[in-house]
Amino acid sequence: MDPLSILLRDDSRLPSRWRARPRSFAALMTLYESNHRRLQALVGDLESLSGERHSHVAGDCELVLRVGERSAFTTDVELTYAFDVVDGRQESRRTAPDMQLRIYHDAQVCEAVAWAPTHGHTVLRGWRHYVQKGLDQRWARNVMLNKWLEYCLERGHSLR
C-alpha cells in the first residue's frame, strides 16, 4: 500500500487545518474534513460517483452506497448497511443506519445531514433522545459517521 493510501485511511496522521475548541463550529468543520478523507479512502473519486455500489466483507453486513442528487459542487448519497432479518418464519431485508451524506466537492468536506428517523437499538434511541437541537445533532451524526467510516475501512470494505 502506498504512503498516500495509508495517510488517507488513518487521517489522524494528517495535520488539521486549524486548532479549534472541541464541539465548536470550527471543530465541526474539521470533523467534516475527516469524513471526506475517510469516505474518499472508501470510495475513491468522489466527484465521479454515480449509481449504486455494494461492498461485501466476510463477517460484516453488506455496505451500500446510493448516489442521489448531484450538482456542480455537491453530491448527495445514502450510506447504509443492508442485512437479512429473520422474524419467526419470515425473512426480510432491512437497512440501517440510512445515513444521508452531502459531499461538498469545492470545500472537500462531507456532512452527515440526516440518519434513520428511528432506531431499533435501545442505546442509539437513548443517545438520540439526549442530543439537543442544532450543533449537538450535527456533532452526533458526524461523529457516528466518522467512526463508522473508520470501522468500515478497518473491516476491509471498498466501494470503488
DSSP 21-77: -TTSHHHHHHHHHHHHHHHHHHHS-GGG--SEEEE--TTSPEEEEEEEEE-SSEEEE
Sequence length of the chain is 160
What CA–CA distance (Å, rounded) separates 52 from 77? Answer: 9
The three three-digit cell numbers of residue 37, written as one number: 478523507
pTM equals 0.79
Tens-digit pLDDT string for the chain (160 aa): 555 555 555 555 555 554 556 667 888 999 999 999 999 999 999 999 999 999 999 999 999 999 999 999 999 999 999 988 888 888 888 898 899 999 999 999 999 999 876 666 666 556 555 555 567 788 888 999 999 999 999 999 999 9
Q: Tell me the residue type at 57.
A: V
What CA–CA distance (Å, rounded) separates 84 from 11? Answer: 33
CA distances from 15 to 8, 12, 42, 108, 142 (A): 12, 8, 20, 15, 19
Q: Please tell me the predicted confidence (pLDDT) of residue 18.
A: 46
The three three-digit cell numbers of residue 137, written as one number: 445533532
Domain boundaries defined on the chain: 3-155
